[in-house]
Chain A
Amino acid sequence: MDVLFLSRLQFAVATYFHFLFVPLTLGLSILLAIMQSLHLKTGNEEYRSMAKFWGKLFLINFAIGVVTGITLEFQFGTNWSRYSRYVGDIFGPLLAIEATVAFFLESTFIAVWAFGWKRLSPKAHTVSIWLVALAANVSAFWILIANAWMQSPVGFVMQKGRPVLNDFLAVITQPYAILTILHTLSAAYVVAGFFVMGISAYHILRKQHLSFFTRSFRMGLTFALISSLFVVVEGHMHGADLVHKQPAKLAALEAHWETGKYAPVYMLAIPDEENSRNSIQIGPIPGALSLLAYHSPSAEVKGLRDIPKAERPPVALTFLSFRLMVTLGMLFALLTIVAWFKRNKLESNPLLLKVMLYAIPFPYIACELGWTVTEVGRQPWIVYGLMKTSDAVSPVAASQVGTSLVAFVLVYSLLGLAAFLLMARAARKGPPKSVAGTTAGKGV
Chain B
Amino acid sequence: MPQRRVLFFDNSRLTAYRVHGGAVLHEASFAADEAGLAAFGDYLQQHRPSLFLILADVAEESFQTEDIPYSTGKDRQAILQRKLAQHFYGTPYALAQSQGRLKSGRRDERMLLMALTQPQHLEPWIGVLQRNKAILAGIHSLPQTIAGVLPAKPSGQLLLLTLTHAGLRQTFFEDGQMRFSRLTPLIHDATDASAIAAASEAVKMHQYLASQRLIERDKPLVTRVLVHPVEATAMRAHCLSNTSLRFEIIDLLEEARRVGLRTPLVNSQADMLFCHLLARKAPAEQFAQPEELGYYRLWQTRFGLKITGALALASAALFVAHQGFDILQLQDGIEQARQQARLNQEQYTAKMQALPKIPVSPEDLRTLIGRYDQVKLRAQGPAPLLAQISRSLDEFPLINIDRIEWAIVEQIIPASSGVAGAVAQPVPPQLMNGPHAQATVTARLPITMVGDHRGQLSMVSDFTRHLGTTIDTHVSILQQPVDTQSGKTLKSGDEKSTPEAPRFIFRVTRKL
Whether both chains belong to one complex is answered with no
User: Which residues of chain A have a CB within 8 Å of any CB of chain B?
Assistant: none
Q: Which residues of B contact A (CB under 8 A)?
A: none
